[in-house]
Structure 1
């Protein structure tokens, strides 16, 4: 590393302060954004105000009424630059918190509040890193972009709107700032929701043979799903595991003394990177037909209501090496791994065709979506510093 580069890096890192990271994360947590609910607007306003104050260019675009995606750009040269991806919504806080979930506080080196880990801390770390790069007057080969989308925790309308609006733009890679305990995640499973409705025929429960019990038929479909789940588990990928099924919701019938005339299932089907939800749906329809439900008089409809693609980036890709090196230089020994969870990064990898990783502060399994959610302040600082180094070091072909 030449002395000039060291001087630039030191100058940028000196501009990243713990106080600013904590202050911005607290403001983002306090803005709420529970989803379902469509309440991300206040969070976006906080983030946009910070980015404008940092000298970044911003663009708010409604993905749905009152639900704006935000893009903040640090301008550079003409080469493709990095895209950082995050989301403004959080899951509902729920009950059981020690303190009000949207009144953030610091204790024992951690910042507490709903969204602290997933993912207000990651958003703050990216924004503070870009502010430091701007303030240092760094000459970057390409733009650095932060895209903050709505609705990640539910149906993903934000990332779909973002890819439609920005598809012609060029990026060298994407870093999703979701919580990974600062590990470098190179692959994620995707996810899809499949809703199934079974129509039978209602009748008095005293004469069940007069009807067609839709709940019984739905149970037969659940057995098909369970059988396919077990089949999938026989083909485990070393990094991502296997595709999987889960019956998340079931609703049917109108009364205990009546044969159920209708039953609805909501199925979660986790996707491997090369899976396609439409093909999976068609396969499910074929198995239902083979089971003879329609021959028995039932009408069955099924549809994909949500799809989030998976992705995989080669472990030896330069973006991965640069991320691991940046974290190492910030005192973090980052392992390379995969996620069985899903994230918006799959859309970027698929639609833009760029290498994608997930790397951010906070714990997915022990903090995200949990009561008394918190993030380590030391991880916030390390993440912001690593993001800044990654922007300085990562380059791509012109």
Structure 2
């Protein structure tokens, strides 16, 4: 759906006059120059860039290490005592990898875009959030008084196991919030729901024997094949009850390792499985059901042992289409100069924890295209999209809290 313009008030236009495209782009570039690859635990350099920008604007900055050199940042623009607006992002990026035509950590500009690892996912979104908050700090000069604070939360380890957001939600924010906007790259569409993600590892133990007498052993690889059949069947069943917004949960067996040698009945096998989650699904309950299905199929009897472990879980969420956060985001984007739409996302993000564990209505809205640009060589984002995102975040805050 396309949003209808509310049209800018003179006061809103005054606030937005403090947002400049080159300012957002240069902050993005500064963060790209502070590599924060995950795995690696090197987010501290990027967080320091953010912290300097936030402190220079007079925001209260709280930095907390959740692991060595892996700090979460919470920067708060104080305002009224009412519910505020949370802007959420993460400081880590995936490894640069091969295939780049330039140095991924020396950002450069060409054809209205900025290139470098993390420009899209998601240092551009973080920069847009900071510049929006800087503009909002001038709101009172234009007669706008916000009823609650605007807070940037930047977590570590989003690309792997979510250490940062898990720590953040267990500590509970000091303020209440009317909504949370995750600045992940949605190509400036309003995403009101995301599937979650989980990783399951299945360890299978059989009994080795000479391959000339396979009946003397118990093949862990054959047991793994039977488990994969169970997973394939459940994947097909899930697809038969697809949700209009988010589709359905899915299974993918991503890795398999096993066996000792061609002439030996395989004594061990390991499966690495991705299970995408619908809102409300719990990975541990899914693992329990998989164990039950394995046992009911007699796969784990007669000398075969099976262990199922959940190694990562990121919850899904869905915010109602008629929620004020959704309609406000749409009008903000339109009045920031962008047509937009409302939909769901097959990807997962930290917003699921904020929605589930803190009960804060959540959407995802940010510059860059996750499918076309993120996690790829020559990652880039349009500078015009960075500016539009900053303008939309500022307008959303004014209209939710003004």
- Fold equivalence (TM over 0.5): yes
TM superposition shift of 1:168: 5.4
Tell me if the contact between 1:129 and 1:387 (Cα under 8 Å) persists in the aligned partners: yes
1:266 and 2:272 matched: yes
Question: In the TM superposition, what whole-angstrom CA distance separates every residue of 1:47-71 from its partner, at most 9, and x where no partner exists?
Answer: 1111111111101111111100000
Specify which of 245, 249, 257 is matched with residue 251 of structure 1: 257
- My pick for the range that moved more, 117-126 or 211-220, is 211-220
Specify which of 23, 27, 30 is matched with residue 27 of structure 1: 30
Specify which of 283, 291, 298 is matched with residue 289 of structure 2: 283
TM superposition shift of 1:255: 2.6
Could you say which residue in structure 1 is the equivalent of 2:156?
Answer: 150
- Number of corresponding residues: 392
Question: In the TM superposition, what whole-angstrom CA distance separates every residue of 1:103-141 from its partner, at most 9, and x where no partner exists?
Answer: 111110111111110000000000011111124545321
3-state DSSP of counterpart to 2:202: strand
Tell me if the contact between 2:172 and 2:358 (Cα under 8 Å) persists in the aligned partners: no
Tell me if the contact between 1:28 and 1:43 (Cα under 8 Å) persists in the aligned partners: yes
Tell me if the contact between 1:193 and 1:307 (Cα under 8 Å) persists in the aligned partners: yes
TM superposition shift of 1:184: 0.3
Could you say which residue in structure 2 is the equivalent of 1:89?
Answer: 92
Question: In the TM superposition, what whole-angstrom CA distance separates every residue of 1:361-393 from its partner, at most 9, and x where no partner exists?
Answer: 000111111111110111000000111111111
Could you say which residue in structure 2 is the equivalent of 1:212?
Answer: 218
Q: Distance in 1 between matches of 2:266 and 2:175?
A: 52
3-state DSSP of counterpart to 1:259: coil
Q: Distance in 1 between matches of 2:386 and 2:173?
A: 30
3-state DSSP of counterpart to 1:84: strand
Q: Distance in 1 between matches of 2:212 and 2:116?
A: 53
3-state DSSP of counterpart to 1:301: strand
Could you say which residue in structure 2 is the equivalent of 1:310?
Answer: 316
Q: Distance in 2 between matches of 1:293 and 1:15?
A: 64
Could you say which residue in structure 2 is the equivalent of 1:292?
Answer: 298
Could you say which residue in structure 1 is the equivalent of 2:48?
Answer: 45
Q: Distance in 2 between matches of 1:183 and 1:266?
A: 33
What pairs with 1:131-146 in structure 2 (closer than 5 Å)? Answer: 131-137=134-140, 139-146=145-152
Q: Distance in 2 between matches of 1:248 and 1:395?
A: 45
- Alpha-carbon distance change, 224 to 34 in structure 1, aligned in 2, over 3 angstroms: same
Give unmatched runs, 5+ long, in structure 1: none
Tell me if the contact between 2:328 and 2:399 (Cα under 8 Å) persists in the aligned partners: yes
TM superposition shift of 1:260: 1.7
TM superposition shift of 1:167: 4.7
Could you say which residue in structure 1 is the equivalent of 2:118?
Answer: 115
3-state DSSP of counterpart to 2:313: strand
Could you say which residue in structure 2 is the equivalent of 1:106?
Answer: 109
In the superposition, the TM-score normalised over structure 1's length comes to 0.96
Q: Distance in 2 between matches of 1:38 and 1:277?
A: 26
- My pick for the range that moved more, 126-135 or 255-264, is 255-264
Question: In the TM superposition, what whole-angstrom CA distance separates every residue of 1:140-160 from its partner, at most 9, and x where no partner exists?
Answer: 211111000000000111100
Question: In the TM superposition, what whole-angstrom CA distance separates every residue of 1:18-41 from its partner, at most 9, and x where no partner exists?
Answer: 111111000111111111111111
Q: Distance in 1 between matches of 2:227 and 2:108?
A: 48
Could you say which residue in structure 1 is the equivalent of 2:5?
Answer: none
Tell me if the contact between 1:167 and 1:351 (Cα under 8 Å) persists in the aligned partners: no
3-state DSSP of counterpart to 1:203: coil
Question: In the TM superposition, what whole-angstrom CA distance separates every residue of 1:48-107 from its partner, at most 9, and x where no partner exists?
Answer: 111111111101111111100000000011001001100000111110111011111111
Q: Distance in 1 between matches of 2:173 and 2:304?
A: 43
In the superposition, the TM-score normalised over structure 2's length comes to 0.95
TM superposition shift of 1:191: 0.9
3-state DSSP of counterpart to 2:236: helix
Q: Distance in 1 between matches of 2:253 and 2:221?
A: 14
What pairs with 1:348-359 in structure 2 (closer than 5 Å)? Answer: 348-359=354-365
Could you say which residue in structure 1 is the equivalent of 2:234?
Answer: 228
